[in-house]
Structure 1
Amino acid sequence: MSAPIRLALADDQALVRGGLRALLEGFAPLQVVIEAGDGEALLAALDATPVDVILSDIRMPGTDGFVLLQRLRERGDATPVILLTTFDEPELPLRASAAGAQGFLLKDASPEDLFEAISRVARGETLLAPVPTDPVRARYAFRDQSPPTDTFNEREVAILRLLAGGYSNREIAKAVFLSEGTVKNYVSDILDKLGTRDRTRAVLKAITLRII
């Protein structure tokens, strides 16, 4: 019998937490070992109780899901995180991937889909897929719209689309059959051509300029 997946659950609404716990504990093997009303309480609980996956609402008072994720990564905690929200806003998956989340789901996902998501990230997978660019372009245009210093070839465009989906260099390397070092070089070239400092700005500018 496989070891249970140890889950931490953060949501500011007690009824939502209770409902999620009741739904998820119907799936074996899974155990909810931490419940918290905000990110700060969850961070404190993790000091004493390590978990395999964190399931967190995005919008919570105080330390919300994005701040929680940032704090985790800053202290070197690589525990996979799935962010939940009731808001179907096109820019949220992009923000989630940029922040280092392994998954992003709406709260109306079925219990089966939620359990599958938790199981997959517990195995080291990521759920973040390439995001639709038109809604993001309409609502989240990048302020710097200067043209790139050079054109983009087909391989670079493909890598940009995977960057927009939140994939790591290792995951991109597997998808396009290149070494991780080669992908890293491609990403550096992409940043240089766009005149951006990081992957998030590169993706936003590429979407704004309709490169992807």
Structure 2
Amino acid sequence: MTAIPEAPREAVRIALVDDQALVRAGLRALLERQGINVVFEAADGAELLEQLPGLPVDVVLSDIRMPGVDGIEALRRLRDSGDATPVLMLTTFDDSELLLRATEAGAQGFLLKDAAPADLRDAITRVAAGQTLLQPVSTGPVRARYRYHADDAPATLFTEKEVAVLRLLAGGYSNKEIARAMFLAEGTIKNYVSVILDKLGTRDRTRAVLKAITLRVI
């Protein structure tokens, strides 16, 4: 029997936002070689907000630090308008405070500016698929901002496997990917996540990860 070839996957469509034209040009060339479709570029958040309604995309890839309307302010305005387009922020290690503000504003993830091309493509693809990437967040500022009493959820309440699941959640992995990594059934991972959320007293994975960092569970 002749195998039926799979239909080609539709390229992820993104908006690229950075105030430096040379950076945008370099990223566009890199992304297009990785099979990512750059629908439009914007020099700042205001330009993004102007173009996005007429040119919908799967992901907005935006610098955080920009003159005028920066990445976080643009993100806030997007969410206030009801636009839920996933936003992946470009950052550096010294942006930890900005990362916290971006998380609160509704960013789906962060990517270091010196990331390898394959990591860049992977991050965009995962955010487009609805995942969250939190790994670059520095733990110090997170603990300073999100202060919980250790008595609420001491680290001793978490099993070794629960901590492992939490660490993978912090990396933005889906239940299916965590199950594959830990050689467990996806239903088992769902149960672990439910238990973790209950122990931390949170409703969603992002807040669970932030609280776990605060309490030094991970």
TM-score range, shorter chain: 0.5 to 0.7
Where does residue 18 of structure 1 map in the other structure?
25
Q: 2:149 aligns with which of 127, 130, 145?
A: 145
Structure 1 pair 189/73, CA: closer, same or farther in 2 (3 Å)?
Answer: farther
The code of the aligned residue for 1:145 comes to H
The code of the aligned residue for 1:47 comes to P
Structure 1 pair 199/190, CA: closer, same or farther in 2 (3 Å)?
Answer: same
Where does residue 14 of structure 2 map in the other structure?
7
State the secondary structure of the residue aligned to 2:150.
coil
Distance 2:10 2:21 in 1: 28
Superposition RMSD in Å: 4.0
Contact 1:7 1:51 (8 Å CA) reproduced = yes
Question: Unpaired runs of 5+ in structure 1?
Answer: none
Distance 2:84 2:103 in 1: 16
The code of the aligned residue for 1:153 comes to T
Task: Give percent identity, aligned residues only.
Answer: 55
Structure 1 pair 127/163, CA: closer, same or farther in 2 (3 Å)?
Answer: closer
Distance 2:212 2:88 in 1: 26
Structure 1 pair 122/207, CA: closer, same or farther in 2 (3 Å)?
Answer: closer
Alignment TM-score, normalising by the size of structure 1: 0.67
Alpha-carbon offset, residue 71 of structure 1: 5.3
Alpha-carbon offset, residue 160 of structure 1: 1.7
Distance 2:84 2:216 in 1: 36
Contact 2:58 2:128 (8 Å CA) reproduced = no
Deviation string 1:21-77 (CA, Å, 9 cap, x unpaired) is 35545x274543211122342233121112344321122345433454555567354
Distance 1:66 1:183 in 2: 33
Structure 1 pair 114/39, CA: closer, same or farther in 2 (3 Å)?
Answer: farther
Structure 1 pair 72/187, CA: closer, same or farther in 2 (3 Å)?
Answer: farther
Q: How does 1:159-178 map to 2 (within 5 A)?
A: 159-169=165-175, 171-176=177-182, 177-178=184-185
The code of the aligned residue for 1:44 comes to E
